[in-house]
Amino acid sequence: MKPAKVLIIDPDRDVLESIKTHMLRGGFDPICAYSGKEGIALFLEHSPQAIILRDVMPGFSGWDTAQRIREMSDIPILFISDRRDRVSMERALSLGDDYMPQPWNWERLSAKLLAVFKRYSAEHTQTLMYDDGYLKVDLARRHVTKGAETISLTDTEFKLLSFFIRKANQVLKYDELLEHILGHTYAKARSHVSRYVGYLRKKIEDDPAKPVYFYTERGVGYSFKFRPPSDLDTK
């Protein structure tokens, strides 16, 4: 089996070379970039299996880089950062899959990278398409249509919709949804879940007040129901 290709994007050459050395010893195939624009070019050239990305970089930032890559792929992205504030963490987790502030070392970075690989692999062995004849969601292409209408979703909205589809007909607790879309479960963030479910209802449900896809499980969380084509008015 070929070693997994991991693209490392960091303007700090000492940090980048350190990660590269450890990755080679750990059996990975590291690809190095010193800027966001160079990283995107190498991403297109080499098709890596994961990305380690510095959040704050001069010029084309880590946020810009992740946003551009997210338009093309749902490849796992692990942010590394010198910051520890909640805003940076939430922003990283809305664009990427995990977040690692300072202080960090190779052991912690390796553990997070392997966890991201495992989670990504488990998700992609499951369904990559939902189609009830009216609502169609292509998870691989990140494409959503309702009838003849193309639905535009933000990264966080699509991330949440993908999770719902992969866990269809299951009751998903607030904390489980929070962990998936934000990477943490502090209680006051439950309103984030309700807000994003509301966004999805407005964009996908014909009548958000009478949802046929996104059900409220009172006091627990939400669920997404598969709908047989015969149940839906496809006029």
Position 183 scores a pLDDT of: 58
Least confident of 79-83, 128-132, 149-153, 159-163: 128-132
* DSSP codes of every residue in 41-76: HHHHHH--SEEEEES--SSS-HHHHHHHHHTT----
Q: Where in the chain is the domain with CATH 3.40.50.2300?
A: 5-124
Which is it for the CA torsion 132, 134, 138, 144, positive or negative?
A: negative
Query: Mean pLDDT throughout 192-221?
Result: 93
Angle at 197 between CA 122 and CA 157, to 5 degrees: 55
**Most confidently modeled range among 153-162, 179-188, 195-204:** 195-204
Position 230 scores a pLDDT of: 46
- How far apart CA 102 and CA 123 sit, in angstroms, is 29
The class that CATH gives domain 129-231 is: mainly alpha
- How far apart CA 92 and CA 154 sit, in angstroms, is 14
Task: Using the predicted structure, report yes or no on whether residue 100 has a pLDDT greater than 50.
Answer: yes
- How far apart CA 193 and CA 49 sit, in angstroms, is 29
Position 234 scores a pLDDT of: 42
**How confident is the model over 22-80, as pLDDT tens digits?**
989 888 899 999 999 999 999 888 888 889 999 989 888 998 999 888 877 778 899 99
Position 189 scores a pLDDT of: 62
Cβ atoms within 10 A of the Cβ of 16, count? 19
Q: Where in the chain is the domain with CATH 1.10.10.10?
A: 129-231
Task: Determine the length of the chain.
Answer: 235
- 3 state DSSP class of 5: strand
> In the CATH scheme, what is the homologous superfamily, with its name and number, of domain 5-124?
Response regulator (3.40.50.2300)
Which is it for the CA torsion 95, 97, 99, 105, positive or negative?
A: negative
- How far apart CA 166 and CA 170 sit, in angstroms, is 9
Confidence category of residue 94, pLDDT binned at 50, 70, 90: confident
Decide: pTM greater than 0.75. Answer: no
The answer to whether the beta carbons of residues 116 and 98 sit under 8 Å apart is yes
